[in-house]
A and B are shown apart, each in its own frame.
Chain A
């Protein structure tokens, strides 16, 4: 759960002002439910790389629809 909390902190920075951070759940879809601008997914990836000291590939990003998708990718990389 520690990884989820760290991810949540990152994602919260890209939420529109009218979306509360409590809405970030494991099954939340970044663009459709959290209303995050798809362009900002790139920034989330960069922040994740810095926070977890990993590197995500373009393919990783393509499969990153929900918070749990992102979490799985992170956990695979962190090992």
Chain B
């Protein structure tokens, strides 16, 4: 198996677009969660959410004028910003003539172009299907985001979209890793995006799993690992990573942010306590153990964990799964944090946005503090020493970070990132 490194990252997150803004927000604890009047008017119980602020972004730098006409798919916009920024960040250019047969894309999403689809539904229902225009399909097909990015850059290797609910982004990283490690590609643009808005978030509001008591203090609403956590704050956005074979990266003298050692993906089969919406704890632990085994490290080697930790009452159960899978607890538990306090749960985009944050931690030699978890849940304190819960940013150079995401449908993914030190 070949070694795989991260040579570019791009981000379009509720708390920052572009690496500098995003890293600063993560480090300083700047929230990307706001109150939305629209949600209040629509009688949402949870009226706070995370949405990237693209108002100041010049979209002409990302799309040509024909693509911008009638563009009404926020996921495509976020994904294209993050994806093209990552490509550029890796020192790579779009292909002008022949596609790059050695570069591909795996860019996931949960549902794409919801607002565009709404436009189409109104037209179809009024007997006006002939007036949909030419881009209803490409803006709403799940693989639309890979198609936009792949076409703009000229990617000629595997171009596809994965979908596994909130596991999507982390899963895309692992899929891209496999493609390169097995020698079938040199570079893979991986990541995920998630649309904004009431039509995406409404279903979760209806499930009564979002916080309802923080509508007047949005920045306090998302409380991972906290005793007062009462549900996840819905978010949106996109994260992207350029994965590359170590040979290719060294040959073109590319910046190397971190190494991807690999990981594991599995499903709990909705058995043993797992369901459509709850994780089978045996499967989660199996996934974490298998990830360590696949990359040939031991649980002791893990310096830090970036959890899924969505800020529901289930966070203590996730801690139990990490602790049991790794055989580590109390003061021996690795450092653990969650970025969801900053920008909520960005659903299909959460994994990739958080993988970008994880890579930034490795690059900067810092762990970013989890927001709103000063009142650590007592069930977590029964298992882990409070000093291991990173609730304010700290200087610490982790060598290995385990990143996991878990999703509806009882699916799990754990990816192991390693600090990269160039041998001179």
A→B interface (CB under 8 Å):
13-17, 37, 39-40, 42-43, 46
Cβ of A21 to closest chain B Cβ, rounded Å: 11
Residues from chain A with Cβ under 8 Å of B135 in the complex: 39, 43
Contact of A42 among B64, B66, B69, B133 (CB under 8 A): B133
Beta-carbon contact of B69 and A17 below 8 Å: no
Q: Which 7 A-B pairs have the closest CB atoms?
A: A39-B134, A42-B134, A17-B64, A43-B134, A43-B133, A14-B66, A40-B134
Say if the beta carbon of B422 comes within 8 Å of chain A.
no
Contact of B65 among A17, A39, A42 (CB under 8 A): A17
| Assembly CA distance A16 to B135 (angstroms) | 16
In chain B, positions 15-46 with a C-beta closer than 8 Å to chain A are none
- Kindly state the interface size class of chain B when it binds its partner: under 10
Beta-carbon contact of A13 and B131 below 8 Å: no
Contact of B64 among A16, A39, A43 (CB under 8 A): A16
Least CB separation from A38: chain B residue: B134
Interface on chain B toward A: helix, strand, loop, or mixed SS?
A: loop
Say if the beta carbon of B327 comes within 8 Å of chain A.
no
Least CB separation from B66: chain A residue: A14
Least CB separation from B60: chain A residue: A17
Cβ of A53 to closest chain B Cβ, rounded Å: 14
Say if the beta carbon of B183 comes within 8 Å of chain A.
no
Contact of B70 among A16, A39, A43 (CB under 8 A): A43
Beta-carbon contact of B66 and A40 below 8 Å: yes
| Assembly CA distance A65 to B382 (angstroms) | 74
Interface on chain A toward B: helix, strand, loop, or mixed SS?
A: loop
| Assembly CA distance A37 to B64 (angstroms) | 13
Q: C-beta contact mask, B131-144 vs A, less than 8 Å → 1, else 0?
A: 10111000000000
In chain B, positions 53-73 with a C-beta closer than 8 Å to chain A are 64-66, 69-70
| Assembly CA distance A46 to B64 (angstroms) | 20
Cβ of B171 to closest chain A Cβ, rounded Å: 31
Beta-carbon contact of A13 and B65 below 8 Å: yes
Residues from chain B with Cβ under 8 Å of A15 in the complex: 66
In chain B, positions 97-132 with a C-beta closer than 8 Å to chain A are 131
A-B contact pairs, 24 of them (CB 8 A): A13-B65, A13-B66, A13-B69, A14-B66, A14-B69, A15-B66, A16-B64, A16-B66, A17-B64, A17-B65, A37-B66, A39-B134, A39-B135, A40-B66, A40-B134, A42-B133, A42-B134, A43-B69, A43-B70, A43-B133, A43-B134, A43-B135, A46-B131, A46-B133
| Assembly CA distance A14 to B70 (angstroms) | 12
Least CB separation from A50: chain B residue: B131
Known pairs A13-B65, A43-B135 / 18 extra A-B pairs, C-beta < 8 Å: A13-B66, A13-B69, A14-B66, A15-B66, A16-B64, A16-B66, A17-B64, A17-B65, A37-B66, A39-B134, A40-B66, A40-B134, A42-B134, A43-B69, A43-B70, A43-B133, A43-B134, A46-B133
Most chain A Cβ neighbours within 10 Å, of B65, B131, B134: B134
| Assembly CA distance A39 to B133 (angstroms) | 9
Least CB separation from A49: chain B residue: B131
| Assembly CA distance A46 to B131 (angstroms) | 7
Least CB separation from A13: chain B residue: B69
| Assembly CA distance A40 to B70 (angstroms) | 12
Cβ of A16 to closest chain B Cβ, rounded Å: 7
| Assembly CA distance A43 to B66 (angstroms) | 10
Residues from chain A with Cβ under 8 Å of B134 in the complex: 39-40, 42-43
Residues from chain B with Cβ under 8 Å of A16 in the complex: 64, 66
| Assembly CA distance A43 to B64 (angstroms) | 16
| Assembly CA distance A37 to B67 (angstroms) | 11
| Assembly CA distance A13 to B65 (angstroms) | 7
Residues from chain A with Cβ under 8 Å of B64 in the complex: 16-17
Least CB separation from B64: chain A residue: A17
Cβ of B59 to closest chain A Cβ, rounded Å: 14
| Assembly CA distance A13 to B66 (angstroms) | 7
| Assembly CA distance A39 to B135 (angstroms) | 8
Cβ of A39 to closest chain B Cβ, rounded Å: 4
